[in-house]
């Protein structure tokens, strides 16, 4: 069963296992850009930093940082008796800057390499859409690179309708 969990240090071990699975691949939707442009060393301190950053970005009681928007960061988990972190989803609540409006979109995600092609991304995106409905959005923008067939199919599986290209990005809207 695919679920979305809020980042927590309680999940440090499965989180670190997940990060190691990505190896040198950039991890979309994980929030790691804030501490590294490249490979993340999955230390407890790095995990604690990301947990706190996620808590702050999701905090609706205070305005987002300059140039940023409120964001829900989720760890995609699976519980088969043992909880595993199998990927990441970021849900940005609004498109209040040029980058998000054109290329970034509302939602970014990735699934760890050893768990791909099992339907996790489609189910996780479906769960993120429930959260978007909950905060009152009536549609979301999701983008992917034109050669990312897996991501395009994931978006289409959840009702994505292609609108336009922006450079190499395919832009899709999903009505909620
Ligand atoms: C793209 C990605 C999220 C897909 O995750 P996943 O869990 O394997 O996707 P799913 O199993 O839910 O598959 C969804 C659909 O995509 C298809 N698909 C998945 N990977 C594919 C691939 N590499 N090539 C072709 N089709 C693919 C599946 O067959 C399925 O299609 P269907 O609905 O027609 O059956 C995953 O490959 C990934 O994390 N990639 C790196 C990060 C990334 O590209 N993130 C998106 C940034 S926009």
Q: Is the CB of 122 under 6 A from ligand 1?
A: yes
Statement: residue 36 has pLDDT above 70: no
Beta bridge partner(s), residue 107: 91
In sequence order, the 6+-apart residues with CB closer than 8 A to the CB of 159 are: 174, 175
Residue 37: the pLDDT is 61
Helical ranges in the chain per DSSP H: 12-22, 44-57, 98-99, 120-134, 149-157
> Considering only CA atoms, which residue is closest to atom 24 of ligand 1?
150
Q: What is the pLDDT of residues 105-152, one digit of tens each?
A: 999 999 999 999 999 999 999 999 999 999 999 999 999 999 999 999
Binned at pLDDT 50, 70 and 90, residue 39 comes out as confident
- CA 107 from centroid of its chain's CA atoms: 6
Kindly state if the Cβ of 90 falls inside 6 Å of ligand 1. no
Q: Is 113 in the pocket of ligand 1 (CB under 6 A)?
A: no
CATH superfamily, domain at 2-137: Gcn5-related N-acetyltransferase (GNAT) (3.40.630.30)
Mean pLDDT, residues 7-24: 96
Q: CA angle 130-84-159, nearest 5°?
A: 30
Q: Is residue 111 in contact with ligand 1, taking CB distance under 6 Å? A: yes
If you measure from the C-alpha of residue 34 to the centroid of ligand 1, how many angstroms do you get, rounded to a whole number?
A: 25
Instruction: Please give the distance, rounded to the nearest whole angstrom, from the Cα atom of residue 63 to the centre of ligand 1.
Output: 34
- The finding on whether 153 has its CB within 6 A of some atom of ligand 1 is yes
Q: What is the Å distance from ligand 1's center to 57 Cα?
A: 27
Q: At 76, which helix (H) or strand (E)?
A: strand 71-79
Q: How far is the CA of 79 from the centre of ligand 1 (A)?
A: 21
90-124: buried (b, 16+ CB within 10 Å) or exposed (e) per residue? Answer: bbbbebeeeebebebbbbbbbbbeebeeeebbbbb
Every domain of the chain and the residues it spans: 2-137
Residues whose CB falls within 8 Å of the CB of residue 89, separated by 6 or more in sequence, listed in order: 4, 29, 73, 74, 76, 107, 108, 109, 124, 125, 127, 128
d(C-alpha 41, C-alpha 27), whole Å: 13
Mean pLDDT, residues 62-79 taken together:
96
């Amino acid at each position: 069963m695919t679920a979305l969990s809020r980042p927590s240090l309680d999940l440090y071990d499965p989180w670190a296992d997940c990060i190691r699975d990505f190896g040198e691949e950039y991890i979309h939707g994980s929030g790691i850009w804030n501490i590294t442009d490249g490979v993340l060393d999955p230390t407890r301190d790095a995990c604690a930093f990301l947990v706190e950053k996620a808590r702050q970005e999701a905090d609706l009681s205070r305005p987002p940082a300059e140039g940023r928007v409120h964001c829900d960061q989720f760890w995609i988990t699976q519980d088969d008796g043992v909880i595993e972190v199998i990927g990441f989803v970021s849900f940005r609540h609004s498109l209040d800057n040029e980058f998000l409006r054109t290329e970034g979109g509302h939602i970014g995600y990735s699934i760890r390499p050893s768990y791909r092609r099992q339907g996790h991304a489609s189910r996780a995106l479906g769960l993120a859409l429930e959260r978007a409905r909950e905060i009152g959005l009536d549609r979301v923008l999701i983008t992917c690179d034109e050669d990312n067939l897996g991501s395009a199919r994931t978006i289409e599986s959840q009702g994505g309708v292609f609108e336009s290209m922006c450079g190499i990005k395919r832009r899709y809207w999903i009505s909620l």
